A and B are shown apart, each in its own frame.
Chain A
């Protein structure tokens, strides 16, 4: 028996959120005595990269090195993970919430007859019952969920556990999956992805701009700050609606929900729908010239001032310090 973790990789690297899922599974197995943590990786990625998953707590990585799985075909990934789950005779599957992970987990819930809990924020209580705390109402509340099935799937939210990596190596074992044509009933014709940048949903620091920046031509200073901090850039809904920034940067109720350590909002008033996307951030800094901007009520630190004056100075100060 073991806890299985579905890990994702991008540009040859295992995602940090997937490593968090491995660390979460490790802590869970220590609590429930479910044995080792085994990760399953699909598609082309190096053995060295997979062995390093041992640093987060996995003893073994099953690697289905089938290039048809390089693309995130939802049904095919679900079939492959289900086969790994059966092979390992697991009872619990852990994964990080993501665009692909969510879609795959939902299908797996039916395939594996497993109760699925998403947005998990901490280790479950497993004394007799199986109670899982998850974030609901877009971060505005939590629910305790009673999972009554023998098999369980936990899709964890970013920062559900502190990730500490060591130098341990996992054994990488090749894993043959049986995939049928129906698993590939859909075809991914192309993928457009911002490369070499820090991806917003996974970023540890996010710098966001709003309508207060007056136009897309003024995003240079936001990008400068992001570069200095190693941060991802985000924006408010009006900014993506009018096309100043791409939709995948929209942070909020109907956009990306972020959970960074530090969220810096520049020229964003802080409508309740925007706050819903950032309320899981550990620390929020607001820069706005309007002292009455509602965002200040949700912030840890604030500067009342014109972004065009404050941000360049702040960038200099950050550069000097870091």
Chain B
């Protein structure tokens, strides 16, 4: 089976979010970048499936040269080869167009990615790629089993889940608990250095909805503490001051 996993290169979840240049750029000073946590789940499941069924696992990222350590990490975790589409990811549509092109060229049976990136939280790229390639797309997928040509999935819905069946090829946006995150071991890190990482050009420059400026939410005031022996006071504050009861 040929599997493609699309990963994002995003700030660590504990990063302080700040902007520079008149609030038009993300300030990456001191920020550590990681594989998107949802993409990391997709990658972990893909490694398991590749080990189970054989075949080849490719990872892809749309990003500039600075994202290569993130792709190398994915290779260390277990991907066989990497593709970097050499461009800043401008918007979801732009990214989906690149992925659709290279996915078609590679003829993958299964395309996995995270349910959303943790920077822009759009959660659209898998569905867009699905429509561009005329393949079914599913998200957020929390379980995925492949039996021959058949795929059994669980998709999270509000307050529960639905169980689904579809046949390959298909696209899934993944989330926990589809697999446990995998930490690269020394052998993986060593072998990642020599695995192929191909840099390819963008195939379309079209965008539809680009972010132009950023803003931080207003600072939170300090907490009002209520004595533990006076819980009635809390009820009164919620009712009369916050007006949320």
Contacts and interface: CB of A to CB of B under 8 A. Distances in A.
Binding between chains A and B: yes
Interface of A: 10, 71-72, 74-75, 78, 98-100, 102-107, 109-111, 114-119, 131-133, 135-149, 182, 185-194, 197, 199-202, 205, 229, 247-248, 253-254, 261-262, 272-273, 276, 279, 282-283, 285-286, 296-306, 309-310, 313-314, 317-318, 321-322
A103 B137 CA distance: 8
B190 interface: no
B220 A186 contact: no
Interface of B: 11, 13-14, 17, 19, 37-38, 91-93, 96, 118-128, 130-132, 134, 136-140, 142, 155-167, 170, 173, 175-177, 207-217, 220-221, 223-228, 231-232, 234-235, 237-239, 242, 244-245
The 3 closest A-B pairs by CB, nearest first: A106-B127, A305-B228, A193-B160
A98 B160 CA distance: 13
Contact of B124 (A102, A187, A188): A102
Contact of B214 (A143, A186, A254, A301): A143
B159 A194 contact: yes
B19 A141 contact: yes
A66 B118 CA distance: 37
A132 B223 CA distance: 32
Given A99-B158, A186-B136, A285-B234, A106 B126 contact: yes
Given A103-B137, A137-B119, A140-B217, 5 more contacts: A110-B96, A136-B214, A149-B208, A191-B163, A302-B225
B131 A107 contact: yes
B178 to A, nearest CB: 11
A185 B212 CA distance: 38
A145 B137 contact: no
Contact of B158 (A104, A201, A296): A201
A189 B143 CA distance: 14
Given A72-B162, A141-B19, A317-B235, A106 B137 contact: yes
Nearest to B211: A143
A258 B205 CA distance: 35
Given A99-B157, A300-B242, A304-B228, A118 B122 contact: yes
A72 B213 CA distance: 35
| Residue in B142, B207, B234 with the greatest tally of chain A CB atoms within 10 Å | B234
B110 to A, nearest CB: 14
B164 A148 contact: no
A131 to B, nearest CB: 7
B128 A247 contact: no
B12 to A, nearest CB: 10
A200 B158 contact: yes
A110 B132 contact: yes
A96 B105 CA distance: 35
A193 B159 contact: yes
B217 A302 contact: no
B151 to A, nearest CB: 9
A248 B38 CA distance: 16
B158 A199 contact: yes
Nearest to A194: B159
Contacts of B208: 109, 114-116, 147-149
A247 B12 CA distance: 23
B232 A317 contact: yes
A139 to B, nearest CB: 8
B128 A106 contact: yes
11 contacts: A72-B157, A78-B131, A186-B138, A191-B163, A194-B160, A261-B244, A283-B244, A301-B226, A301-B238, A304-B228, A310-B231
A180 B60 CA distance: 32
A144 B211 contact: yes
B166 A185 contact: yes
A140 B126 CA distance: 24
Contacts of B242: 262, 282-283, 300-301
Contact of B164 (A115, A189, A194): A189
Contacts of A109: 92-93, 124, 127-128, 131, 208
B158 A98 contact: yes
Contacts of A282: 242, 244
A147 B209 contact: yes
Given A99-B156, A141-B214, A201-B158, A302 B238 contact: no
Contacts of B245: 229, 262, 318, 321-322
A247 B138 CA distance: 18
A100 B221 CA distance: 36
A282 B220 CA distance: 11
A60 B30 CA distance: 53
Contact of B212 (A103, A145, A261): A145
Nearest to A190: B163
A111 B93 CA distance: 12
